[in-house]
Structure 1
Amino acid sequence: MNCLLCHSPMIIQPTWSGLFLNKIGPPICERCSKKFEKTDIKEDKAEWIGSIYENSLDGLTSVYQYNEAMKDYLHQYKFLQDAILSKVFAEDMRALLKNRKAIIVPIPMHPEKLKKRTFAHVDRILDDARIPYVHLFEKTADVTQGEKSKQERMNAEPLFAIKPGSTIEKKHYIVIDDLYTTGTTVRHAAKVLKDAGAAKVEAVTLIRA
């Protein structure tokens, strides 16, 4: 088996637990794995105080920092459409979400962007993580939040709407995205869910920029 990132051969020692659970070992080698750095950045809620999004998000968890290795990974996965790379961080997502008593909701791609990219990258990671999810959003705008000023983000029109025919219950929801940059995307999504009746909304992202 070869590493999915550097393609070097990996020697996987089989174990009884791996055989019984149908696990084939890690998708990347130890050398590549060490290039990714876990993050301990805490969410800064201060900049959202006074905005309509102030209490929209009840919690945030991100796994990795946006370092050079992660930039290269995202470029290859999302922009070069190397879909098999969804397996690289699937187990990280599974470890975070498998025991959570919540409804998992991925952030959707705009239809035009989905057509260009050919696959939904967040969905694909969740599929490989064997985490069930539901699509409750439709995207109403295709904009890059990182290019906007703080005030423009505060006053932006909603990025999402609840899909027609969907029912939002008074339950716990977790919004999933790949990259947290300004926090606008997950807060817009959380507010839509809260306004529709959700009791609690958290966000989990693979990366924190």
Structure 2
Amino acid sequence: MRCVICFESVLPEVNWTNFLLVQKEVKLCTTCFEKFDVITEPGCPLCGRADSSGVCYDCERWEGSSYQGVLTKNVSVFSYNDFARELVARWKYRGDFTLIEAFAEAAQTKYKNYFQMMEADLVAIPLSKERLLERGFNQSDALITLLGVSPHRFLKRRGSEKQSKKGRSERLLGENPFILVKPTERPVVLVDDIYTTGMTVRHLALLLREAGCPEVYSFTLFR
């Protein structure tokens, strides 16, 4: 077996405890595995930011705006360090789709611990047709499939402009780039690869909540 990130050979550990058990396939070498920064004790109870001692400054500002209370909580698997940034670039922008296997076990475990007992609809972040054609896949769809669930299509994107090209003030004052196409009265978990400012998930959460959704969470690989 070879590491899905660096392609070095990976030898599974065999001891008397697991000798008679079926060995699961190891996807990562030790070197790559140790470069992930797993979030074990998130500091901010709202967004999961690890380096905060309580509700972080960004979430305080969100809760003091028109988006107050629209997002119940964000849960993330890893901190978005330099190693993660390079992996996301390879996976999402350079077409190295098999890298999703590097995230599989940790993502499935975190999701199970937080959300599996909740009767919720998993919703992907919609991409524009142009962005989908450019990338070849929707990373949110891929992550939901990785969790063993089919994504729901409750929303769509108005246009193709990237929110990342706008400043925070411009995003807050601008038109919501998403449209609700189907309401739900069940809790929703929005699934994406990265939580950065929280603007995207709050845009979506606002539409869902205004249409009767009782709670909106987000689940992301990186924070």
Q: How many angstroms apart in 2 are the aligned matches of 1:17 and 1:172?
A: 42
Answer yes or no: is 1:31 the counterpart of 2:31.
yes
Query: Over residues 180-207 of structure 1, what are the superposed CA-to-partner deviations in whole Å (9 max), with x where a residue is unaligned?
Result: 1111001001111101110011111111
Q: Counterpart of 1:148?
A: 166
Alignment match of 1:178 (pick from 171, 183, 193): 193
Q: Counterpart of 2:5?
A: 5
Q: Counterpart of 1:168?
A: 184
How big is the shift at 1:109?
1.6
Partner SS, residue 157 of structure 1: coil
Partner SS, residue 205 of structure 1: strand
Answer yes or no: is 1:47 the counterpart of 2:58.
no
Q: How many angstroms apart in 1 are the aligned matches of 2:163 and 2:187?
A: 26
CA contact 1:104–1:132 (8 Å) conserved in 2: yes
1:168 maps to a residue whose letter is T
Q: How does 1:55-70 map to 2 (within 5 A)?
A: 55-70=69-84
Q: How many angstroms apart in 1 are the aligned matches of 2:143 and 2:184?
A: 24
Q: State which drifts further: 119-128 or 78-87.
A: 119-128
Q: Counterpart of 1:136?
A: 154
Identity of aligned residues (%): 28
Q: How many angstroms apart in 2 are the aligned matches of 1:160 and 1:17?
A: 52
Task: Structure 2 unaligned segments of length 5 or more: list them.
Answer: 48-55
Query: Over residues 87-124 of structure 1, what are the superposed CA-to-partner deviations in whole Å (9 max), with x where a residue is unaligned?
Result: 11122222233324121111122211000101112211
Q: How many angstroms apart in 1 are the aligned matches of 2:177 and 2:117?
A: 26
CA contact 1:108–1:137 (8 Å) conserved in 2: yes
Query: Over residues 40-65 of structure 1, what are the superposed CA-to-partner deviations in whole Å (9 max), with x where a residue is unaligned?
Result: 35233211244221221111112211
Answer yes or no: is 1:204 the counterpart of 2:219.
yes
Query: Over residues 11-65 of structure 1, what are the superposed CA-to-partner deviations in whole Å (9 max), with x where a residue is unaligned?
Result: 125758963xxx7323111210110112335233211244221221111112211
Q: How many angstroms apart in 2 are the aligned matches of 1:206 and 1:17?
A: 33
Q: How many angstroms apart in 2 are the aligned matches of 1:206 and 1:100?
A: 20
Q: How many angstroms apart in 1 are the aligned matches of 2:110 and 2:154?
A: 21
Partner SS, residue 194 of structure 1: helix
| RCO higher in structure (CA 8 A, sep ≥6) | 1
How big is the shift at 1:130?
1.6
* Matched residue count: 202
Q: How many angstroms apart in 2 are the aligned matches of 1:125 and 1:26?
A: 19
Partner SS, residue 88 of structure 1: helix
Q: How many angstroms apart in 2 are the aligned matches of 1:138 and 1:36?
A: 32
Q: Counterpart of 1:188?
A: 203
Task: Structure 1 unaligned segments of length 5 or more: list them.
Answer: none
Task: Show structure 1 runs of 4+ deviating over 6 A.
Answer: none
CA contact 1:97–1:131 (8 Å) conserved in 2: no
RMSD, aligned α-carbons? 2.1
> What is the TM-score normalised by the length of structure 2?
0.82
CA contact 2:10–2:26 (8 Å) conserved in 1: no
Q: How many angstroms apart in 2 are the aligned matches of 1:87 and 1:131?
A: 16
How big is the shift at 1:158?
1.0
CA contact 2:192–2:221 (8 Å) conserved in 1: yes
